[in-house]
Amino acid sequence: MSALSVAAQDYLAIRRALGVQLIAHGRLVEDYVAHLDSRGGGPVTVQNAVDWANAAPSNSRRQAAVRMSVARGFARYLAGSDTATQIPPARMLPMPTTRSTPVVFSEAQIAELLACATRLSPPLRAASFHTLIGLMAATGLRTAEARSLDRDDIDLSAGTLVVRCSKFGKSRQIPLHPSTTTALAAYLRRRARLCPRPVSDALLITPSGDRMHTLSQTFKPLLREAGITVPAGRRAPRLHDLRHTFAVATLRDWHRAGLDVQRRLPALSAYLGHVNPAHTYWYLQAVPELMAVLADRLDDTAQEQR
């Protein structure tokens, strides 16, 4: 193992000890170190950080900005022991200010995805993926949050779920709809029959009893089987879009019910685990479906005032 690899493991271990999971971040740090080692090793410089950041497989400005942030954080750590380390400036390859319009699944599309999931094999894989899709659609959890749930994070009697050390190291407790609690209880009973002694503490497990993984590799074929596509030029749907769908459906239903959405938005922001409420407000201007509902509501208000 190279000196940079050892330093990377120490860096990640220190940050994880502070309560940060660093799952995707950790993989990127390791990829950056492998990039440096393949070119003769360190030190970290502004130029090799830029070269690695711009080599993002997706070739997107957003991913390049994420990679540069990873390289910058690792460089700050190394600079404490290696004076040859260069720390990239904070505004180099900044995060783009625009965000892609999220994909919003219809109720019929979610129902079809759930039906397709039940046809997966073996049975426990089908049950786990069916529950994953339903849970994300019903709660707006991030994909990593749903995957990271442990069995003890669900309290069926209280109808609550605890999300631990999520994005930015935050934890939160959220209430579950009774139908969601019932579905989780049914999954746990089936899980107990199919895998009485799982090797993981995870809530959602594979047939071998491990925590679920390679979720996107399973979700993409389900999208094709369900016949779900997007117009040319739009980003392909992801599991994470179930979170977007939950947020948009909640806001849409509030508007249709004539409720004071502005007063309720902070509650939705807390439920979703948004550190900045602006991330929740973004849905109001980013989703055409919501804009249509807003237009209808304004039209109704105008007619009432005539």
Q: Residues 25, 125, 244, 274: which is the catalytic one?
A: 274
- 283 has catalytic annotation: yes
- 220 has catalytic annotation: no
- 11 has catalytic annotation: no
Q: Residues 142, 147, 211, 244: which is the catalytic one?
A: 142
Per-residue 3-state assignment (H helix, E strand, C coil) for 138-180: HHCCCHHHHHHCEHHHEECCCCEEEECCCHHHCCEEEECCHHH
C-beta of residue 261 within 8 angstroms of C-beta of residue 255: yes
Name the β-bridge partners of 205. Answer: 211
Strand (E) positions, the chain? 154-155, 160-163, 172-175
C-beta of residue 141 within 8 angstroms of C-beta of residue 131: no
d(CA 213, CA 140): 19
Beta-sheet strand order (sheet of 154-155): 154-155, 160-163, 172-175
- 142 has catalytic annotation: yes
Q: Residues 11, 32, 187, 283: which is the catalytic one?
A: 283
C-beta of residue 109 within 8 angstroms of C-beta of residue 228: yes
- 274 has catalytic annotation: yes
Q: Residues 25, 130, 147, 243: which is the catalytic one?
A: 243
Q: Residues 15, 25, 240, 244: which is the catalytic one?
A: 240
**Residue 142 phi, psi dihedral angles, 5° rounding:** -70, 155
C-beta of residue 218 within 8 angstroms of C-beta of residue 119: no
Q: Residues 167, 172, 238, 279: which is the catalytic one?
A: 167
Give the residue numbers annotated as catalytic, written as ranges. 142, 167, 240, 243, 274, 283
